[in-house]
Amino acid sequence: MYSLADIEVDLYEVLEVHRGATTEEIRKAYRKSALANHPDKVPEDERPAAEAKFINVQKAYEILSDDDKRHLYDTHGMSAFNGSGEPGMGGGMGGMPPGFEEMFAEMFGGGMGGMPGMGGMGGMPGGGRSRRSPDDEQDYEVSLEELYKGKTVKFASTRNIICSLCKGKGGKEKATAKQCSTCDGVGLQEVITQMGQFLTKQTRPCSVCNGQGSFFSPKDKCKKCKGKQTTEEKKMLEIYIAPGSRDGEKIVLEGEADQIPGRENGDIVFKLMQEEHEVFDRAGSDLRAEIDITLAEALTGFSRVVLKHLDGRGIEITHPAGKVLSTGQVLKISGEGMPIKRSDSRGDLYLAVNVKFPDASWKPTPEMLEKLRELLPKPDPAIEASTVDEVDYDPNGNMDEFGARDAHGGSAWVDDEDDDEPAQCAAQ
């Protein structure tokens, strides 16, 4: 198992500071490195390596941040913290200068665990693992109506809790766990893997003790949890989705994730995922929708409900006669958008007008058409031309066919694949 005392290592290089660094510079370097290598901040497959680096960063800081320990290290190197002066921790405390044994016990708690940490990240039991149990993160699909009105959701949760019989020990009251000889009680072990023609060294949780550093014999295991340290618990929980909540927003139930002995409880985190709506689009606190009005309404005005809002209310509009509406025109209704959290305000509603012309089923009489010609605006003055040809036309033309008969597919650009030259303009 790799540790700072196993090899000749420069603690200043571990923290990336110069040998004359001040205590404040060492503290800042430690915080920066500890955050960068915290196991909870890296992907799952990189976590073992980050845990090992995190342990070494903590131990380097523990020595260099203390003036007396730093002086001993500067004078004797890491051999001052290794009784035999050889790699490994099994040589006992013999051969240490006076006071080293007490200092070693103070620093490492009699072993490799229990390193003092930084804020909420210290005290890494079991070989440098995070003090918090992992958060339980999951997506929760929610409709736009629910985001508009708000919603309370109740659900049953099953999680692991610390065994009430052994209090998370995993063994009987008077039983003593055996230190794992595979990882020397650290909870981590190095494995050599081959990647192509290269051999790489990786640090992983010990497969013998499952990263605990110790284990109980079968006869000494807790009868309730079978040595697992935790049991299952079912519990009813609820989350509240406040009106105006947004897509991607997170709702946190603090301390409701699985419990792990020696760690603070992680959280259950719900990430809101807004479902697509068939009528409304949302942008922040504003809403957008399209409304269909007839040609007659666009010309003569109207007063009616144009759409149903997200809370079921009908939105009525009165448009005066004589003010013509056109397709693409936007009607803005202030205060009818989404609620704005922690306030009594709302966003705005934007209605895009779509004027519907009569379809093929409309069969006006000649008299009706003549009357429309008299009522509606006259066309622009006639276009004068020296020659006039009356032509036939297809009333169902398709703009997707525009340029389709061009030999180059409707494009003025050709791609010369032979000499890998950039696309060039076709000859005219």
* Residue pLDDT, tens place only, 310-354: 999 999 999 998 899 999 999 999 999 999 998 899 999 999 999
In whole angstroms, give the CA distance from residue 303 to residue 208: 77
Tokens representing 314 are 């009908």
- Which amino acid would we find at residue 31? R
Q: Is the pLDDT of residue 95 over 50?
A: no
> What number is the average pLDDT over the span 87-98?
39
Do the beta carbons of residue 189 and residue 183 sit within 8 Å? yes
Q: What is the pLDDT of residue 416?
A: 53
Q: Check residues 145 and 374 and name the one with the higher pLDDT.
A: 145
Q: Give the count of beta carbons closer than 10 Å to the beta carbon of residue 369.
A: 10
Which helix (H) or strand (E) element contains residue 237? strand 230-241
**Predicted local distance difference test score (pLDDT) of residue 226:** 87
Nearest to 117 by CA among 42, 204, 30, 52: 30
Percent of all residues in the chain with a pLDDT value above 90, rounded to a whole number: 35
User: Distance (Å, rounded) from C-alpha 411 to C-alpha 416?
Assistant: 14
Are 158 and 22 within 8 A, CB to CB? Answer: no
Q: At 123, which amino acid appears? A: G
As a whole number of angstroms, the distance between CA 271 and CA 280 comes to: 21
For residue 268, the one-letter residue type is: I
Task: Assign 112 a pLDDT band (cuts: 50, 70, 90).
Answer: very low
Rounded distance, CA 123 to CA 348, Å? 51
DSSP string, 360-380: TT----HHHHHHHHHHSPPPP
Counting beta carbons within 10 angstroms of the beta carbon of residue 419, is it exposed (0 to 12), middle (13 to 18) or buried (19 or more)?
Answer: exposed
Q: What is the pLDDT of residue 9?
A: 67
Q: Read off the pLDDT of residues 150-174 as tens digits, 9 standing for 90 and up.
A: 999 999 999 999 999 999 888 888 8
pLDDT band for 194, please (50, 70, 90 cuts): low
Instruction: Phi first, then psi: give them for residue 241, nearest 5 degrees.
Output: -95, 105
> Do you know the residue count of the chain?
428
Q: Is 211 exposed, middle or buried (0-12, 13-18, 19+ CB in 10 A)?
A: buried
**pLDDT by residue (tens digit) across 48-64?**
777 778 788 888 888 88
The candidate with the shortest Cα–Cα distance to 245, out of 284, 207, 208, is 284
Residue-wise pLDDT for 33-47, tens only, equals 877 777 766 676 777
Specify the CATH architecture of the domain 136-177+216-274. Sandwich (2.60)
- Domain ranges for the chain, please list them: 11-76, 136-177+216-274, 280-356
Q: Within 130-239, where are the H helices? A: 144-149
Number of helices (H), then strands (E), belonging to the chain: the values are 9, 17
Sequence-separated (6 or more) residues with CB below 8 Å from residue 416: 423, 424
Q: How confident is residue 422, by pLDDT bands cut at 50, 70 and 90?
A: low
Q: What is the share, in percent, of the chain residues with pLDDT greater than 70?
A: 77
Three-state DSSP class for 126?
helix
- Tell me, what's the pLDDT at 415? 53
Q: 31 in helix, strand or coil?
A: helix
Residue 8 has what pLDDT?
53
User: Is 136-177+216-274's fold the same as 280-356's?
Assistant: yes
CA distances from 420 to 34, 242, 412, 414 (A): 50, 58, 18, 12
**In terms of CATH, what superfamily is 11-76?**
DnaJ domain (1.10.287.110)
- Residue 83's pLDDT band, with cuts at 50, 70 and 90, is very low
Residues pairing with 239 in the sheet = 153
CATH of domain 280-356: 2.60.260.20
pLDDT over threshold 70, residue 411: no
